[in-house]
């Protein structure tokens, strides 16, 4: 069986967990905190980053997009990249937007200030960085609300890896108390629809040691 | 015909230019500096980033990896992702390594200190950031030298998008005077082999306004 090396608040681990569950690929979970730089994780991935998927051939598979593309090519069930090259280009564009831009501007600063400083460094968060992250979250919600004005799902008419990637980032922000839907009715409905998928519900009970999410975090009615 | 919106020192524009040339896809170039935030670029890509490929259906195509994957799917000539899902996972892992890690740790700080500060802000570079970037370049050369101990090209026996992505990052560092091969004989040979490809030779005469590269930059014997 595959084993996914991950930690509960890693958005890229979440992306892979949801994608694999959509495709009915079985996997076990192993906890790895990248900042601990364990020999095990470095042996699997010299970049020292989660997620890594190992234990079956041709593992270890490294990098969330490489892992998702691999299973898109090898498992027919539940296509997540869409049908046709043009549709796939749009899914990949939006997936990269959330993986790179939303992560760099919103999720990563929130993780640094509200998780890493609290759990690892035992320092208070910096208010200025938190404000900038919160503005970035709003900017991404604006973008999602605009997309959903034209489309049922983020990249088009069907659920795709773009929805998975977006939810993976936003659900980490939500866990850290950095997400609210006031003024974003379509986005709230979309978030609720993603949240109620069996692939997603499986990861909502997970907790990061030393950090309690807000009460609404794992509720379907939030 | 396709038009690529790019600027000479954008490593992701270089990646797309080399990949398209390998595949014999014709395209014109249009200059866009992301920091100028032109209406034209923002109209093509809300992220305001280069590269964007437009002018043919189903454009505009946005994000270097989405563009490369699109042409990998639609143009048979010169496969750049390798053959088989396992090989493609390895190409994608290494491509992401250079696109993300090498860019964040080495190319982007060099671009900030030696291009943006000089050409746009008219400020001197910060020595500490330059030192860290230079250490990061060395770390990536170490990694490449190790890979080339086992393989002819970075992801295996054939030239791939991983070579393109790595060259795209390193050639920008080279333009900015941040690359040397002392102690890296295999990497120097690999770099020379990539540099001599027609797809790459086409972009070496390009110059960034206000910045002159070192004399060896576009020489095949360097």
Query: CB contacts < 8 Å between A and B, how many?
Result: 64
Q: Residues of chain A with pLDDT > 90: what percent?
A: 98
Coil, helix or strand at residue A52: strand
Residues of B in contact with A101 (CB under 8 A): 47
Residues of A in contact with B86 (CB under 8 A): 57-58, 70
pLDDT class of B173 with cuts at 50, 70, 90: very high
* Residue of chain A whose alpha carbon sits nearest to that of B89: A66
Identify the pLDDT of residue B96. 98
Residue A141 has pLDDT above 90, yes or no: yes
Residues of A in contact with B143 (CB under 8 A): 46
Q: Residues of chain B with pLDDT > 70: what percent?
A: 100
Cα separation, B154 vs B163, in Å, equals: 6
For CA atoms A151, A66, A193, A158, give the dihedral sign.
positive
Identify the pLDDT of residue B6. 98
Residues 106-165 of B with CB under 8 A from A: 143
Decide if B61 and A97 are in contact by the 8 Å CB cutoff. Answer: no
Cα separation, A34 vs A128, in Å, equals: 25
Q: Which residues pair with B2 in a beta bridge?
A: B27
Residue B222 has pLDDT above 90, yes or no: no
Decide if A89 and B70 are in contact by the 8 Å CB cutoff. Answer: yes
Closest CA to A71 of A83, A80, A60: A80
Q: Which residues pair with B54 in a beta bridge?
A: B3
Residue A34 has pLDDT above 90, yes or no: yes
* Residue of chain B whose alpha carbon sits nearest to that of A84: B73
Cα separation, A41 vs B146, in Å, equals: 19
Q: What is the pLDDT of residues A5-26, one digit of tens each?
A: 999 999 999 999 999 999 999 9
Which pair of structure tokens corresponds to residue B91? 């190409």
Identify the pLDDT of residue A191. 98
pLDDT class of B159 with cuts at 50, 70, 90: very high
Residues of A in contact with B66 (CB under 8 A): 89, 92-93, 96
pLDDT class of B40 with cuts at 50, 70, 90: very high
Decide if B89 and A67 are in contact by the 8 Å CB cutoff. Answer: yes
Q: What is the pLDDT of residues A166-220, one digit of tens each?
A: 999 999 999 999 999 999 999 999 999 999 999 999 999 999 999 999 999 999 8
* Residue of chain B whose alpha carbon sits nearest to that of A86: B58
Q: What is the pLDDT of residues A146-174, one digit of tens each?
A: 999 999 999 999 999 999 999 999 999 99
Closest CA to B86 of A3, A89, A156, A60: A60
Which pair of structure tokens corresponds to residue B159? 């030239």
Identify the pLDDT of residue A221. 85
Q: Are strands A61-62 and A52-54 parallel, antiparallel or unpaired?
A: antiparallel
Residue B174 has pLDDT above 90, yes or no: yes
The DSSP annotation for B87-131 comes to HHHHHHHHHHIIIIIIIIIIIHHHIIIIIIIIIII--PPPHHHHH
B61 in contact with chain A, both atoms CB, cutoff 8 A? yes
- Residues sharing a CB contact under 8 Å with residue A127, sequence separation 6 or more, in sequence order: none
Q: Residues of chain A with pLDDT > 70: what percent?
A: 100
Residues of B in contact with A66 (CB under 8 A): 89, 92-93, 96
Closest CA to A73 of B84, B168, B108, B184: B84
Helix B64-74 with B161-175: angle, nearest 10 deg: 140
Identify the pLDDT of residue B3. 98
pLDDT class of A102 with cuts at 50, 70, 90: very high
Residue B109 has pLDDT above 90, yes or no: yes
Decide if A92 and B69 are in contact by the 8 Å CB cutoff. Answer: yes
pLDDT class of B187 with cuts at 50, 70, 90: very high
pLDDT class of B62 with cuts at 50, 70, 90: very high
* Residue of chain A whose alpha carbon sits nearest to that of B61: A89
Identify the pLDDT of residue B221. 85
Closest CA to A189 of A169, A163, A168: A163
Average pLDDT value over all residues in chain A? 97
A46 in contact with chain B, both atoms CB, cutoff 8 A? yes
Residues 193-212 of A with CB under 8 A from B: none
CB atoms closer than 10 angstroms to residue A150: 7
A83 in contact with chain B, both atoms CB, cutoff 8 A? no
Identify the pLDDT of residue A147. 97
Decide if B101 and A73 are in contact by the 8 Å CB cutoff. Answer: no
Residues of A in contact with B69 (CB under 8 A): 88-89, 92
CA distance A92 to chain B (A): 5
Domains along chain A with CATH numbers: 2-74 (3.40.30.10), 85-201 (1.20.1050.10)
A68 in contact with chain B, both atoms CB, cutoff 8 A? no
Identify the pLDDT of residue B183. 97
Structure letter (DSSP) for residue B78: S
Decide if B66 and A96 are in contact by the 8 Å CB cutoff. Answer: yes
Quick one: average pLDDT of A72-87?
A: 97
Identify the pLDDT of residue B179. 97
């Amino acid at each position: 069986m595959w084993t996914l090396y991950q930690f509960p608040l890693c958005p890229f681990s979440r992306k892979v967990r949801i994608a694999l569950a959509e495709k009915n690929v079985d996997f076990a979970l192993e906890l790895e905190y990248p900042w601990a730089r364990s020999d095990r994780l470095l042996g699997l991935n010299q970049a020292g980053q989660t997620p890594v998927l190992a234990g079956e051939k041709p593992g270890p598979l490294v990098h969330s997009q490489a892992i998702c593309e691999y299973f898109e090519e090898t498992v027919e069930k539940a296509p997540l990249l869409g049908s046709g090259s043009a549709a796939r280009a749009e899914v990949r564009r939006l997936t990269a937007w959330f993986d790179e831009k939303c992560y760099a501007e919103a999720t990563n600063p929130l993780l640094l200030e509200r998780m890493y400083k609290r759990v690892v460094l035992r320092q208070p968060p910096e208010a200025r960085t938190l404000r900038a992250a919160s503005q970035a979250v709003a900017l991404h919600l604006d973008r999602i609300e605009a997309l959903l004005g034209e489309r049922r799902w983020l990249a088009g008419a069907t659920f795709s890896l773009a929805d998975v990637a977006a939810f993976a980032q936003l659900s980490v922000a939500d866990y850290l108390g950095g997400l609210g839907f006031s003024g974003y009715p379509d986005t709230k409905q979309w978030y609720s629809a993603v949240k109620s998928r069996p692939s997603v519900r499986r990861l909502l009970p997970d907790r990061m040691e030393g950090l309690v999410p807000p009460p609404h975090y794992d509720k379907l009615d939030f």
